[in-house]
Amino acid sequence: MSEGPNVLKMLIVDDSNIIRRRIERSQQIDRLEVVGAAANGVEAVELFRRTGADVVTMDLTMPEMDGIECVTELVRIRPDVLILVISALADKATAVEAIERGANGFLCKPFTDRQLNGALEELLAGR
Amino acid sequence: MKSPVEQDAVARSRVRVDILLIAAACVAFVGAVFIPGLRLAKTLSNDAAALKFVSEQRRYSLAIQSAVAAVQDRLDSGGYVQTPIDQLRRDAQALTEATNRMGAAQAIGWFDAPTETTALADADVKASVTALAAEWSAYRRRLQPLFEFQGIPYFDSESAGTHLNPAGRRLAEATTSALRAAREAIPKIDADFNGIGDALQKSSAAAASTLSLVMLLGLLLAATMVALGIMLQLGRQRQEEAVLEAKRQADSIFRTMKEGLFLLDRDLVIGAAHSAAMRDLFKRDDVAGLTFEDLLKDIVPAKTLATAMKFVRVLWTERTNENLVKSINPLGEVEVHFPGESGSAAPQYLEFDFHRVRSGTDISHILVSVSDASARVALGHELKAAQDQSQSQIDTLLGLLRVDPKQLASFLGDSDVALQMVNSILREPAREESAFRKKVDSIFRQVHAVKGEAAAIGLTTIEDRAHRFEEDLRALREKGDLSGNDFLPLIVKLDDLFTHLQSIRDLVAKLSRLQQAAAPAAERGAPASAAAPTDVDSMLKQLAEKVGHENGKAARVESAGLEALPNAYRRLVKDIAVQAVRNAVMHGIETPQARRAAGKDPCGLIRIEVEPQGADGFRLSIEDDGQGLSTQKIVATAMQRGLVSADEAPTLGPKQALRLLFRAGFSTYDKSTKDAGRGVGMNLIANLVQEAGGRIGVSTAPGKFTRFTVNLPVLQSAGKNHEAA
Amino acid sequence: MFRETELRIFIDGALRVFETLTNQAATVGSPYLVTDGKPGTYDFAGVIDITGIRKGLVYFTAPRGMLTVLLMRMQETDTSEENMRDLVGEVANTISGNARRDLGKGFVISVPNVLANASEGVGLPHARCFVIPINWRTHAAKLVVCLQ
């Protein structure tokens, strides 16, 4: 991944290690550079402050501050952050709530590599 | 300051502040620049007009003086005086009028037309004007004799020539006196005129300097307004950017969401941005630009549509509480029908949810989300149906009261074993279709036995459940490509049967406690365990009676030797006997009329006998005195079912033909009445016997009897499938 | 039957997980009931507690062998015990989370609770539960649904 002026820093938040690793491994967007991964909301906020990430993938069901709260907090810290919620919670109410709190996209688990990259591209296109 | 919508709101409120500032600047401009400027300009123009007027009047004082001097000259030279006197009168008159006008000058209102003397009403000028009027008035009195002179001031004589006459002398004196007075009065009058001019000039200068100050202020205010205008424009741009940003974000959400999402504007028109799922939900591509009414009108009833439209309009009403609005949403779960779809399709339900989108405090749009609620609604309906079903517990209870307690206890034990058996069959791992298919047959046997026994003792709630279970199994038999998915209805029904049996057990336990509490202590403790085999006897009698009744026949059961059966065979024999008795009544025994015609007892007889065979185990025979079996019919049916070929058929002997009865597939399971076709029972019996390691045979005499003979081995190797859980 | 519809929701979720993660379809084995309160587990089990409109639990249990191959199919090279626990929990979470599409927000799911080598099995809230065997390649896993 090349360093450059257009590179966006990405933070991965998921309580599953293999999902974190998979997102990092599978994302093929040139402009994105993964700068950190967090296993819960508290860690995520801390890493977000430290890395100044531009893009965040966010799980919802997590111990210690769930994803919805975490979205709220990240958007409060930095209103122009781009957040892609990646969750197994497939009900509409959850999606709407995440977006109300300021998330910019929603990808439902389980997902393929193609779906992941598609969702990330759309997220960046909306910027 | 988070969501795009909120950012938008912030930008909008900033713009609002800017507009207020500009309005304030406008008021300031009018108050501090425009009105004073107008007033000052008026003052300037009034002053100028007054100055012009005053300077015009100045000449009269000189003119008057020279007119008086001219009168004196004419008197000295004996000239004609009337002309300068007339001139003097006119000038004096003019000056009098001027001073009068100047003295009468008044400040004027905003909308009165200014006159040339308006400026003289000013206090600074007024003093000089009053002084002028006084000076002139004094001087004018000295001129009075001159004004009044009439006639000729001379008398002519040849000797003395022309001389002043007395009137002429008086005129000359008055003229001299006027000239003398003029030496004092004229400079004063001039000074007064100067004073007036100076005051006017001063007022002009002051107004001019104030005006330039006002102009400067105006310039400043104008600059402020321009600055504010620029800020407003920038704010608008920011707001537009925020809106664009919100739109971009919304677009990305719209693309990724699986739900239908769209925005409604105030005219209830659907916005261009909507989620891709809309196309699938509404089965049309042209959603954008449609009105909400057009979207719904073909898919919901007119009444629903009317309510929905009213509701959506209410959403725009600011004072209606959002939660209240949501609680009355008529589209929370609405059944839809798409034109052109067949009516037989499963009902479809859509769930609409409405959110107000605000810009600042105003509602700008309604965000509508739509999802397919069909599965959820179906689930709800089924849940309700399940609850209704549990209402039928009372029926179960009443049913139980009609059942013999001993039979019931034996049934409950047996059916629990049978259901456990079904579960163990299911539990065997399976991947291949053949494995699944084999399970269908084994499960069928168990369920069929439960059904038969439940029917025999009159437990219709169990019989119905087992019957529905059988129907599922029948359907699976017909279905190709079996997989575990197809078995889901089975475990659900199995669970239901377990639950139902348990609730019967609970009811029985409660009833027996009631009974014990009510019964005298002496009647308790009577031995009941030894009666087991006779349960079978009474149950079979009841079954024969019941099936006979349902089929318009009469039949009775006689049994012998049942008590000799070991407990471990009891269940097997019962299962076999239940099938055999049912088949005998339905197919073997004739109607009472037919029997009478054949010289038989109208009531058919079924004999069940168990004979111990020592080392060879037991023999069970079940015989009816009905019409017997027709081998020709059996062969014809077997050919129909494809069990034998047309070539093979004629070669079959009577014994081989009878054995076809026990072949799987002899019956097609197509009769789904509770009392199934004969073939089912035969195949089942054969399988049960085979599993127990026994043999089965059939013999018949047309018009006389049908007898099934079952040989069961001694116990150690038998029955394990039946008694093992 | 509403139970059948409900079971199908979970089964569809499980099949979707396999299909999506590995691009290889799984099939449903012969389903049965647990009648003695002991459903049995493979090496790992991811248990999701259900609260809200329904109460009980849903769990997914799989043997080491299946999880190893699953991880490999997901391009995950680290097949440590830790990652197996992780995967079994994630699968359970995905199945129950997806169920909210049809069961709604009122179907509240917990974070996965993972049991390893739980020979004693999972403590069930009541004696009878549905067991759905899931076959994938040569491996077998189980989905256990125990609601109310």
Contact A21 C78 (CB under 8 A): yes
Nearest to A103, CA basis, from B66, B589, B256: B256
**What are C33's two structure tokens?**
């009931």
Q: In A, which residues are within 8 Å of B372 by CB distance?
A: none
**Could you give the CA distance from residue B620 to residue A8 in angstroms, rounded to a whole number?**
86
**Could you give the CA distance from residue B635 to residue B631 in angstroms, rounded to a whole number?**
6
**The dihedral of CA C68, C74, C75, C81: what is its sign?**
negative
Beta bridge partner(s), residue B604: B555
**Could you give the CA distance from residue A39 to residue A14 in angstroms, rounded to a whole number?**
5
Cα angle, residue B233 at apex, residues B229 and B234 outer, rounded to 5°: 115
Give the pLDDT band (50/70/90) at residue A20. very high
Q: In C, which residues are within 8 Å of B496 by CB distance?
A: 1
Closest-CA residue of B relative to C6 is B379
Alpha carbon dihedral B106, B107, B113, B117, in 10-degree steps, equals 50
* Order of all β-strands in the sheet with B695-701: B555-560, B604-612, B618-624, B705-712, B695-701
Going from the N-terminus, what domains does chain A have, and what CATH number goes with each?
Answer: 8-125 (3.40.50.2300)
Tell me the pLDDT tens digit for each residue of B52-76.
888 888 788 878 888 888 888 888 8
> In Å, how far is B258's CA from the nearest CA of chain A?
8
Chain Cα centroid distance, residue B269: 16
Do B403 and B535 form a contact (C-beta atoms < 8 A)?
A: no
Element containing residue B378 per DSSP (H, E):
helix B374-391
Chain B contact present for C32, CB below 8 A: yes
Helices (H), chain A: 17-26, 41-51, 67-77, 92-100, 113-125
Chain A contact present for C119, CB below 8 A: no
Element containing residue C12 per DSSP (H, E):
helix C2-22
Q: In A, which residues are within 8 Å of C111 by CB distance?
A: 15, 61-63
CA-atom Rg of chain C in angstroms: 14
User: Do the strands B618-624 and B604-612 form a parallel or antiparallel pair, or are they unpaired?
Assistant: antiparallel
CA-atom Rg of chain B in angstroms: 64
Chain A contact present for B475, CB below 8 A: no
Helices (H) and strands (E) in chain A, counts: 5, 5
- Return the partners of chain B (3 or more C-beta pairs < 8 Å): A, C
Chain A contact present for C83, CB below 8 A: yes
For chain B, residues with pLDDT lower than 70 are: 1-18, 107-114, 158, 160, 245-258, 318-328, 341-346, 359-360, 382-398, 515, 518-534, 665, 667-681, 716-725
> What letter would DSSP give residue B724?
-
If you write DSSP's letter for every residue of B690-707 in order, what string do you get? Answer: HHTT-EEEEEEETTTEEE
Mean pLDDT across A3-13:
83
pLDDT of residue C30: 94
Residue B425, number of CB atoms within 10 A of its CB: 20
If you write DSSP's letter for every residue of B259-325 in order, what string do you get? Answer: SEEEEE-TT-BEEEEE-THHHHHHT-S--TT-BHHHHHHTTS-HHHHHHHHHHHHHHT-TTS-HHHH
Tell me the pLDDT tens digit for each residue of B441-477.
889 989 998 998 888 888 888 888 999 999 999 999 8
> In Å, how far is C35's CA from the nearest CA of chain B?
8
**Could you give the CA distance from residue B80 to residue B151 in angstroms, rounded to a whole number?**
10
Contact A107 B256 (CB under 8 A): yes
Count of A-B CB contacts under 8 Å? 47
pLDDT of residue B274: 74
Greater pLDDT, C95 or B193: C95
Do B467 and B447 form a contact (C-beta atoms < 8 A)?
A: no
Helices (H) and strands (E) in chain C, counts: 3, 8
Chain Cα centroid distance, residue B498: 42
**Could you give the CA distance from residue B161 to residue B164 in angstroms, rounded to a whole number?**
10
Facing C90 at nearest CB: one of A19, A25, A94? A19
> In Å, how far is C17's CA from the nearest CA of chain A?
6
**The dihedral of CA B404, B410, B416, B420: what is its sign?**
negative
- Return the partners of chain C (3 or more C-beta pairs < 8 Å): A, B
Do B271 and B265 form a contact (C-beta atoms < 8 A)?
A: yes
Closest-CA residue of A relative to C18 is A110
Contact C30 B429 (CB under 8 A): yes
Chain B contact present for C4, CB below 8 A: yes
Do B477 and B440 form a contact (C-beta atoms < 8 A)?
A: yes
pLDDT of residue C131: 94
> In Å, how far is A4's CA from the nearest CA of chain B?
25
pLDDT of residue B529: 40
**Could you give the CA distance from residue B462 to residue B416 in angstroms, rounded to a whole number?**
12
Best of A104, A115, A124 to disrupt the B interface (most B CBs within 10 Å) is A104
Q: In B, which residues are within 8 Å of C8 by CB distance?
A: 488
Facing B487 at nearest CB: one of C3, C31, C104? C31
Chain Cα centroid distance, residue C59: 4
Facing B256 at nearest CB: one of A75, A90, A119? A119
pLDDT of residue B1: 41
> In Å, how far is B542's CA from the nearest CA of chain C?
32
Contact A22 C111 (CB under 8 A): no
Residue whose pair of structure tokens reads 């677009």 in the numeric block: B251
Facing B498 at nearest CB: one of C7, C128, C135? C128
Chain A contact present for C4, CB below 8 A: no
Chain A contact present for C77, CB below 8 A: no
Nearest to A57, CA basis, from A46, B6, C101, A70: A70
pLDDT of residue B397: 67
Chain A contact present for B252, CB below 8 A: yes
Going from the N-terminus, what domains does chain C have, and what CATH number goes with each?
Answer: 2-147 (3.40.1550.10)
Chain B contact present for C3, CB below 8 A: yes
Do A100 and B357 form a contact (C-beta atoms < 8 A)?
A: no
Best of C30, C53, C103 to disrupt the B interface (most B CBs within 10 Å) is C30
Q: In A, which residues are within 8 Å of B368 by CB distance?
A: none
pLDDT of residue B667: 61
> In Å, how far is A15's CA from the nearest CA of chain C?
9
B window 391-430, beta carbon within 8 A of C: 420, 423, 426-430
Mean pLDDT across C86-106:
90
Best of B351, B416, B427, B490 to disrupt the C interface (most C CBs within 10 Å) is B427
